Amino acid sequence: MTAAPDHTPTFAALTPMERLDKATPILMVPVLVVLGFLAIGSTSSWLTLTVSGLAMGMMIFIMASGLTLVFGLMDVINFGHGAFISVGAFVGVSVLVALSGWTGAASLMLNLAAILLAVIAAMSVTAVLGWGFERVIVRPVYGAHLKQILVTVGGLIVIEQLIHVVWGPSEIYINRPEMLQGAVTFAGAAIEKYRLLAVAVGLVLFVAMRLVLRRTKIGLIVRAGVENGEMVRALGYRLSLVFIGVFVAGSALAGLGGVMWGLYQEVITAGMGERMMILVFIVVIIGGLGSVEGAFIGALMVGLLQNYIAFLEPKLALISNIGLMTAILMWRPQGMLPVVKAK
Amino acid sequence: MVTWLLSGDKPRSAILAALLIVILVCLAGAPFLFPGVRSLETAATICIFIVLAASYDLLLGYSGIVSFAHTMFFGLGAYGVALGTTHLGRSFGALATGTLAGALAAAALAFLIGLFSLRVRAIFFAMITLAVASAVAVLVSQLSNITGGEDGLSYRIPRVLTPAFRPFDEEVLGIRFTGKIINYYLVFFSCFALFLVMLRVVNSPFGRVLQAIRENDFRAEAIGYRVVRYRTTATCLSAAVAALAGAIYAIWLRYVGPDTTLSFEIMLDILLMVVIGGMGTMYGAVIGATIFVLAQNYLQNLMGAASEATHSLPLIPELLSADRWLMWLGVLFILSVYFFPTGVVGRLRAGR
């Protein structure tokens, strides 16, 4: 007779190293900021660069959050996400142009009201578009990655061309509203006002998203669906309905990101979403597929690193994102905070 | 003989066989059948894109891997030739060195990307190749002292291959025989040979394993095939062939630039060619590339005419304008993924 295998569960506390390993992803952003400070030396340029890096990161996060949730929840990878960014930007800018009386006025309230209206218009249009996209393009190809990539790329092409049909083939230049132009000076550093607004919007959105995901019933279902969809379905929840909701919300967020990015660049083109998708994918990969927190950390790192490197060594800035992605994947092949198990 | 040349992979459809023969004859006799600079350009482009689409099909159709970096490898080959002739002078040796260097660089880069991304999950590969390819495209346009930046590079190829070379004083078969035609036959025969090599690869035991992995990678691994190793090899091979196609294109055009070799538009073109022609069969690449290049060169005129004819109606002329042909191809692309996942070739074979 063989002896029963030893089964002695241990209740030892985590060692400091293990704790550090768990906390590393969260610590990476502050560490990067400190490293940037050491490398740059001058407080005022460092502050300017940090704020612009954070603003860029927040905008990328807004665009990336929907994509990563959609992937986590339904294992759908949507290459057409970039089209929503472009459409959002074009709709939003059209509204802003129509409200040029409000944006030209030297009143912060009127300016913000114009932006709010533009954002609402852009988000509603992209939400409807997302719903249609899910119905027509994505629905028939659940579970087949290869086909998903192909048809969503096809959708991207068609929507981009439709933008050309509706708004004409040339890019559109847009001025930021009167009160959001220029910069404020703080501790000797010039900080553009619009960047502060972008950081604020991004932070509010992240906190709201976390609250919804952690504190509400629907958030619980979404998180459970990401981790084990079959079990959630077995418990009687209509996960496909939840999924459509997340897809529509993600598309609306892409529209919001498009408006904000368009105002940041002050020029919009039909191809802008396609170009942003590259950054969005890098962020989603280094954050870990399906993880909103990971996307947040990843977006901030990408934004900060790109701004620091552009200041320190302009030639390297082009490949800094690829370098960051390579380093993270060597360290954690699944991304920093993976939620979805490798399939 | 024919069976041996085709590596035992016959067209298996009378219409398809007839189409392939027509394409082969037209391409082989292009300088004599369709005299004129433009039709010769079209024929050479078709030859090169057949090889490019075939090498992409090795990934997409046979291995089930989606890559968005295929134009990057194509561009590496093209820039290899351009830099080779710029620095080593006007000789065939320089062309060969550049071609070889480009192909090796492409294979090495593909190996690195494959090691990183194919190890984890195939879906990473699509996203990572997209990121890497865009970084390389930006890098090429920024490093203007090496690559010529957005303007690209023009260079001189051996005189035998240029229109200035006239071996015969009188006309041959009714056309003036110049070095350009020699150049065309260099393109044609290299592409033909490369295509037959690709056909050999996919019909070898190696190709069968790739298809097994595409169908069920878990099972292939269980049977004892190293899935990662096979996928990485396929990626490298496909990258090297793409680079060779790029080198041929560079020799033909005597110019390289980001727009002609590296742009994302070309990547989409290749994707459309392979899907419309038929994934998972080399003949699909032939049909797809031929249809696509012909459409690109001649359909736009037709659409322009249609747009003119409907100019009194609202919106329709905009939709039919020649610049919007990519939109219709996109629609066609989505429809063919849904309804004809096997493409033109699959349809023809099924309807036998």
B283-319 tens-digit pLDDT: 999 999 998 898 888 877 777 777 777 777 666 776 7
Q: Give the residue, A342 or B77, on which the prediction is more confident.
A: B77
Is the CB of A153 inside 8 Å of chain B's CB atoms? yes
Long-range CB contact pairs, A199-203, < 8 A, 24+: A199/A51, A199/A54, A199/A55, A199/A58, A201/A58, A201/A62, A201/A260, A202/A54, A202/A55, A202/A57, A202/A58, A202/A59, A202/A61, A202/A62, A203/A58
pTM assigned to the model: 0.85
Query: CA B218, B212, B50 angle in degrees (round to 5)?
Result: 130
**CB-CB neighbors (< 8 A) of B338 in chain A:** 140-141, 151
Interface of A with B in 314-333 (CB under 8 A): 315, 318-319, 321-322, 325-326, 329-330, 333
Average pLDDT taken over every residue of chain A: 85
Residues of the domain holding B139: 2-350
Residue A221 has pLDDT above 70, yes or no: yes
Residue B352 has pLDDT above 60, yes or no: no
Residue A343 has pLDDT above 50, yes or no: no
Q: Decide if A155 and B334 are in contact by the 8 Å CB cutoff.
A: yes
Is the CB of B319 inside 8 Å of chain A's CB atoms? yes
Complex-level ipTM? 0.81
Three-state DSSP state, B49:
helix
Average pLDDT over residues B250-254: 91
Q: How far apart are CA A331 and CA A85, in angstroms?
A: 31
Residue A340 has pLDDT above 70, yes or no: no
Instruction: Give pLDDT, residue A342.
Output: 43
Is the CB of B316 inside 8 Å of chain A's CB atoms? no
Least confident of A197-206, B143-152, B183-192, B310-319: B310-319
Q: Decide if A278 and B134 are in contact by the 8 Å CB cutoff.
A: yes
What burial letters (b/e) apply to B179-216, b meaning 16+ CB within 10 Å? bbbbbbebbbebbbebbeebbbbbeeeebebbebbbee
CATH number for B101:
1.10.3470
Q: Smallest Cβ distance to A161: which of B117, B122, B326?
A: B326
Q: What share of chain A is helix, strand, coil (3-state, %, to 5)?
A: 75, 5, 20
The answer to whether B179 and B165 have CB atoms below 8 angstroms apart is yes
Calculated CA dihedral for residues B100, B102, B107, B113, nearest 10 degrees: 170
Instruction: Give pLDDT, residue A76.
Output: 83
> Into how many domains does chain B fold?
1
Q: How far apart are CA A132 and CA A248, in angstroms?
A: 9
The set of residues, in sequence order, having a beta carbon less than 8 Å from that of A269 and lying 6+ positions away, is A86, A171, A172
B171 burial (CB, 10 Å; 0-12 / 13-18 / 19+) is: exposed
Average pLDDT over residues A334-340: 76
Instruction: Give pLDDT, residue A341.
Output: 53
Interface of A with B in 105-124 (CB under 8 A): none
Q: What is the pLDDT of residues A200-214, one digit of tens each?
A: 999 999 999 989 988
Is the CB of A340 inside 8 Å of chain B's CB atoms? no
Q: Minimal Cα–Cα distance from A316 to chain B, Å?
A: 10
**CB-CB neighbors (< 8 A) of A147 in chain B:** 337, 341
Is the CB of A147 inside 8 Å of chain B's CB atoms? yes
Least confident of A127-136, A217-226, B6-15, B311-320: B311-320
Is the CB of B326 inside 8 Å of chain A's CB atoms? yes
Q: What is the pLDDT of residues A251-299, one digit of tens each?
A: 999 999 999 999 988 889 888 888 888 889 889 888 888 888 899 999 9
**CB-CB neighbors (< 8 A) of B324 in chain A:** 161, 164-165
Q: Assign residue B165 a region (left: φ > 0; alpha: ψ between -120 and 50; beta: otherwise).
A: beta
Q: Assign residue A100 a region (left: φ > 0; alpha: ψ between -120 and 50; beta: otherwise).
A: alpha
Least confident of A116-125, A281-290, A332-341: A332-341
Interface of A with B in 57-86 (CB under 8 A): 77, 79
Radius of gyration of chain B (CA): 21
Is the CB of B115 inside 8 Å of chain A's CB atoms? no
Three-state DSSP state, A211:
helix
Q: What is the DSSP annotation of B221-282?
A: HHHT--HHHHHHHHHHHHHHHHHHHHHHHHHHHSEE-HHHHT-HHHHHHHHHHHHHH-TT-H
Of the candidates A275, A274, A282, the residue with the CA atom closest to the CA atom of residue A323 = A282
Domains, chain A, with CATH or none: 60-331 (1.10.3470)
Tokens, residue A160: 């981009």
The set of residues, in sequence order, having a beta carbon less than 8 Å from that of B216 and lying 6+ positions away, is none
Is the CB of B14 inside 8 Å of chain A's CB atoms? no
Cα–Cα distances in Å, from B239 out to A105, B12, B60, B243, B285? 56, 29, 12, 6, 16
